[in-house]
């Protein structure tokens, strides 16, 4: 490092990562479970999960539709239209379900968590909690982290289900495929642990990362309106990158 500027450029992201990691460690080291904490987690599951339901269901349905439309068209050229449910289920369970739901989750729930905590910081509510001897880590951060961990896998399950409903709607009702062979082909090619379980494992990881980044960017936001706006944008960008990179790494390990 010959001058200060390049030093900062190189080390600033690393320091940021280190601070985010330490933040996570602190949050977990002060983990406490009581009935009040559980109620708060459930409240956050409502805000992160139930409130994302509409976008998840609509997007899931249309992803299922378009995926079936495209594969149906391609596979009929090879006379293999029967395999459409296999392609649908495998690509959904293994990749599209967890990844798309995580990206939608970042846009819908992640941003609102960041903005909420960022505004709490800007309006000094976090300091007020501290003054009242209420640990904001325990009261604000932990429930949101755990809620992300619970809500995203739940949303992925619902996303997968509605996408399959969309696929059935297209293949069976519009194209006249046989529903029994649709299910049978899906069943014969999807393995419970490897395909379905692997996808669910991914969704737990994505939920954790999405919640962590959302809480962290809100927590570390500059206490101004620009700061909160920037933090919200950063949450979406960082979550999208983290989810896609992590997706590749996890897929490479699991295959």
**Is residue 50 within 8 Å of 147, Cβ to Cβ?**
no
> In this structure, what is the dihedral angle of CA atoms 219, 222, 226, 231, given to the nearest 10 degrees?
-30
Task: Extract long-range pairs of 179-185: CB within 8 Å, 24+ residues apart.
Answer: 181/82, 182/84, 182/85, 183/85, 185/82, 185/83, 185/84, 185/85, 185/86
Closest contact distance (angstroms) between CB of 190 and another protein is: 5
Closest contact distance (angstroms) between CB of 151 and another protein is: 8
Which phi and psi (to 5°) does residue 108 adopt? -90, -55
160 lines the binding site for another protein (CB under 8 A): yes
Closest contact distance (angstroms) between CB of 124 and another protein is: 23
Q: Is 160 helix (H, G, I), strand (E, B) or coil?
A: helix
List binders of another protein among 140-159 (CB under 8 A). 150, 153-155, 157-158
In the list 20, 65, 190, 238, the residue contacting another protein (rule: CB under 8 A) is: 190
145 vs 154, which CB is nearer to another protein?
A: 154
List binders of another protein among 1-60 (CB under 8 A). 39, 42-43, 45-46, 49-50, 53
Query: Could you give the CA distance from residue 36 to residue 17 in angstroms, rounded to a whole number?
Result: 31
Closest contact distance (angstroms) between CB of 50 and another protein is: 5
# residues near another protein by CB under 8 A:
30
In the list 195, 204, 230, 251, the residue contacting another protein (rule: CB under 8 A) is: 195
**Is residue 94 within 8 Å of 195, Cβ to Cβ?**
yes
Closest contact distance (angstroms) between CB of 132 and another protein is: 20
Closest contact distance (angstroms) between CB of 207 and another protein is: 12
Query: Could you give the CA distance from residue 173 to residue 182 in angstroms, rounded to a whole number?
Result: 12
Tell me how far apart the terminal alpha carbons of the chain are, to the nearest angstrom. Answer: 41
162 vs 232, which CB is nearer to another protein?
A: 162
Q: Which residues bind another protein (CB under 8 A)?
A: 39, 42-43, 45-46, 49-50, 53, 89, 93, 150, 153-155, 157-158, 160-161, 164, 183, 186-192, 195-196, 200
């Amino acid at each position: 490092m010959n001058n200060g500027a390049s030093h900062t450029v190189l080390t600033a992201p690393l320091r940021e990562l280190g601070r985010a990691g330490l933040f996570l460690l602190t949050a977990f080291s002060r983990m406490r479970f009581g009935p009040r904490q559980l109620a708060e987690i459930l409240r956050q599951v409502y805000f992160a999960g139930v409130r994302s339901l509409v976008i998840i269901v609509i997007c899931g349905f249309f992803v299922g539709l378009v995926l079936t439309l495209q594969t149906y068209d391609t596979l009929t050229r090879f006379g293999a239209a029967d395999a459409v449910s296999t392609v649908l289920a495998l690509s959904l369970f293994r990749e599209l379900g967890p990844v798309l739901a995580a990206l939608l989750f970042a846009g819908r729930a992640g941003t609102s968590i960041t903005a909420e905590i960022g505004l709490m910081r800007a309006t000094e509510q976090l300091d007020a909690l501290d003054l009242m001897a209420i640990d904001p880590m325990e009261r604000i951060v932990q429930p949101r982290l755990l809620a992300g961990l619970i809500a995203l896998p739940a949303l992925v399950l619902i996303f997968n289900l509605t996408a399959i409903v969309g696929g059935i709607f297209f293949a069976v009702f519009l194209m006249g495929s046989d529903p029994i062979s649709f299910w049978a082909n899906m069943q014969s090619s999807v393995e419970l642990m490897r395909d379905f379980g692997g996808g669910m494992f991914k969704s737990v990881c994505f939920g954790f990362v999405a919640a962590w980044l959302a809480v962290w960017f809100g927590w570390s936001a500059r206490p101004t309106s620009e700061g909160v706006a920037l933090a919200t944008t950063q949450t979406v960008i960082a979550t999208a990158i983290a989810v896609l990179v992590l997706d590749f790494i996890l897929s490479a390990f699991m295959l």
